[in-house]
């Protein structure tokens, strides 16, 4: 490595160490992330296919893996009918957007006692014929994804705001992460929800959000990521009743912790037609056994509410995991899956995100699909698209127009 590379490494190590010391939950022990491939402990990945010989054998094996990943990592359930019927309580008046190319429709949906605000940005053509959509949570409220005065603010608990209330001043502040105009011009809609409407993202002992009705999970039951994934399925229940959306063509999308969520949503609910993981990293697409960047111990210590109690057994014991992220990705097969990384997002281990796609490919091939078209990590900025798609782009942990260009092309190919 050249001196600049070494300096970057050191800088990243110092940065991540600083991030740890600032985190109250992780303060008890310093953590220095490893970014050196040479220091990865030797590992063997669990054989995803095992004795599966034909496509017919896969559903039983898939169910076994799914139950194991649920019990040991994300937590089982909730049942699809937990919390009672999901119902649309009200629909706001449609509002034209993008000079009439599209419209905004907002719903209030009741999910396990919580009012969830659903924002749908749809092409005008949806009024004639239901359209395929991207469905994904946002981090800071529907009003942050698009700058429009008609978009309602969430009333639930907000992260990263002093009084934890949504602010009018934040309208549109995350719009660079949501290529709404490009989606609409390509004939897709976007359905988005603030994830805190389902479960506020802090270690609250599972007392808030839908947990008020669903109760506190046992060690093998759904923690926050699985609860968010469940919330996406409940929104899909609603979309099945919405005439402007084709619920059979819903691509579930998520970035970072919400990318871990979209993967688990796609693994848990086969109604999702396509799954996108943007920079999902540890506990998402990245192979845990590599222990590059964020590790199982680090994530469980910083965010104890994300994964179920049983997952803590694997702190610094990655080799004992009975599966790894390639098995998680395989649960999505044969449905199209896109995994994306970013060069500067080393904390999420881009190579580990790519390798789990390579390792999931045999399942995709067995099921008669094209799988991943390459076994070599593509050059920066090149998108490889088969039934599994992958790219690594320049830049940091984020969602960019480049990412969306690839997702729209991939979804056009598979859902249109």
Q: How far is the CB of 26 from ligand GTR (least distance, A)?
A: 10
Least distance between ligand GTR and beta carbon 195 (Å): 10
Nearer Cβ to ligand GTR, position 222 or 282? 282
CA–CA separation, 28 vs 88, rounded Å? Answer: 45
Pairing assessment for the beta strands 114-123 and 131-138 based on DSSP bridges: unpaired
* Chosen residue from 211, 257, 290, 326 binding ligand GTR by CB under 6 A: 257
Q: How far is CA 217 from the centre of its chain?
A: 21
The number of beta carbons lying within 10 Å of the beta carbon of residue 236 is 20
Site for ligand GTR contains 281 (CB under 6 A): yes
- The nearest distance, CB 317 to ligand GTR, in angstroms, is 19
Q: Does the footprint of ligand GTR cover residue 300 (CB under 6 A)? A: no
Residue 299 lies near ligand GTR (rule: CB under 6 A): yes
CB 79 to ligand GTR: min, Å: 26
CA 272 to chain centre: 13
Residue 399 Cβ vs ligand GTR, minimum distance, rounded to whole Å: 11
Establish whether 156 is a catalytic residue. Answer: no
C-beta of 256 vs 310, nearer to ligand GTR: 256
Q: Of 301 and 384, which CB lies nearer to ligand GTR in the complex structure?
A: 301
Rounded CA gap, 234 and 240, in Å?
10
The rounded radius of gyration (Å) of the Cα atoms in the chain is 20
Residue 355: its H or E element: helix 350-366
Q: How far is the CB of 397 from ligand GTR (least distance, A)?
A: 7
**Cα separation, 157 vs 99, whole angstroms:** 33
Binding ligand GTR (rule: CB under 6 A), the pick from 151, 184, 232, 282 is 282
Tokens of 333: 């097969």
User: How does DSSP assign 227-247, residue by residue?
Assistant: HHHHHHHHHHHHHTT-TTEEE
What dihedral do alpha carbons 42, 47, 48, 54 form, nearest 10°? Answer: 150
Distances, alpha carbon 242 to alpha carbons 43, 190, 406, in Å: 47, 14, 27
Binding string to ligand GTR for residues 208 to 247, with x set by CB under 6 A, is what? ----------------------------------------
Name the residue nearer to ligand GTR (CB basis): 221 or 294.
294
CA angle 364, 369, 374 (to 5 degrees): 70
Give strand pairing partners of 137: 193
DSSP track, 66-116: HHHHIIIII-B---TTTTS--EEEEEPPPEEEGGGTEEEEEEEEEETTEEE
- Among 16, 224, 256, 262, the one annotated catalytic: 256
Could you tell me the smallest distance in angstroms from the CB atom of residue 324 to ligand GTR?
A: 16
Cα distances from 24 to residues 104, 224, 304, 373, in angstroms, run 40, 19, 12, 43
Residue 13 has a CB neighbour count (10 Å cut-off) of: 14
Residue 254 as a binder of ligand GTR (CB under 6 A): the answer is no
Closer residue to ligand GTR (CB): 195 or 338: 195
Rounded Cα distance, 308 and 283, in Å: 12
Nearer to ligand GTR among residue 16 and residue 142 (C-beta): 16
Q: For residues 153 and 85, what is the distance between their CA atoms, to the nearest angstrom? A: 24
Q: Rounded to the nearest whole angstrom, what is the least distance from the CB of residue 125 to ligand GTR in the complex?
A: 34
Which of residues 124 and 398 has its CB atom nearest to ligand GTR in the complex?
A: 398
Is 294 a binder of ligand GTR (CB under 6 A)?
Answer: yes
User: Distance between CA 252 and CA 406 in Å, rounded?
Assistant: 15
CB-nearer residue toward ligand GTR: 116 or 140: 140
Of residues 86-145, which lie at the interface with ligand GTR (CB under 6 A)?
Answer: none
How many chain residues interact with ligand GTR (CB under 6 A)?
6
CA 381 to chain centre: 21
Residues identified as active-site: 256, 397
Give the interface with ligand GTR as residue ranges (CB under 6 A): 256-257, 281-282, 294, 299
């Amino acid at each position: 490595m050249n001196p600049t590379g070494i300096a970057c490494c050191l800088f990243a190590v110092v940065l991540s160490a600083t991030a740890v010391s600032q985190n109250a939950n992780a303060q008890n022990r310093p953590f220095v992330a490893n970014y050196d491939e040479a220091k990865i402990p030797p590992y063997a990945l669990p054989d995803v296919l095992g004795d599966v010989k034909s496509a017919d054998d896969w559903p039983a094996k898939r169910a076994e893996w799914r139950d194991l990943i649920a019990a040991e990592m994300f937590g089982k359930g909730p049942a699809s009918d937990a919390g009672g019927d999901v119902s649309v309580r009200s629909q706001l008046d449609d509002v034209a957007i993008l000079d009439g190319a599209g419209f905004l429709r907002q719903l209030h949906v009741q999910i396990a006692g919580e009012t969830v605000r659903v924002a749908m940005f749809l092409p005008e053509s949806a009024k004639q014929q239901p359209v395929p959509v991207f469905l994904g949570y946002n981090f800071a409220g529907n009003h942050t994804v698009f700058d429009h005065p008609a978009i309602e603010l969430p009333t639930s608990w907000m992260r990263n705001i002093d009084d934890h209330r949504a602010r009018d001043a934040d309208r549109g502040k995350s719009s660079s992460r949501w290529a709404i105009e490009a989606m609409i011009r390509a004939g897709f809609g976007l359905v988005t929800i603030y994830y805190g409407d389902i479960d506020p993202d802090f270690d609250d002992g599972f007392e808030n959000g839908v947990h008020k009705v669903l109760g506190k999970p046992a060690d093998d039951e759904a923690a926050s990521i699985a609860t968010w994934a469940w919330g996406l399925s409940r929104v899909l229940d609603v979309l099945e009743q919405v005439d402007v959306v084709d619920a059979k063509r819903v691509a579930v999308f998520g970035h970072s912790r919400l990318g871990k969520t979209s993967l688990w949503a796609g693994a848990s609910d086969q109604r999702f037609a396509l799954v996108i993981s943007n920079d999902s990293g540890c506990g998402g697409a990245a192979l845990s056994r590599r222990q590059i960047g964020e590790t199982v111990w680090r994530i469980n210590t910083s965010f104890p509410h994300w994964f179920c109690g049983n997952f803590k057994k694997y702190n610094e014991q990655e080799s004992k995991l009975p599966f790894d992220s390639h098995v998680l990705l395989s649960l999505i097969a044969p449905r199209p899956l896109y995994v994306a990384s970013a060069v500067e997002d080393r904390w999420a281990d881009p190579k580990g995100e790519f390798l789990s796609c390579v390792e999931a490919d045999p399942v995709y091939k067995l099921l008669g699909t094209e799988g991943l078209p390459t076994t070599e990590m593509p050059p920066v900025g090149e998108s490889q698209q088969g039934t599994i798609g992958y790219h690594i782009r320049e830049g940091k942990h984020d969602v960019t127009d480049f990412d969306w260009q690839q997702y729209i092309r991939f979804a056009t190919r598979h859902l249109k």
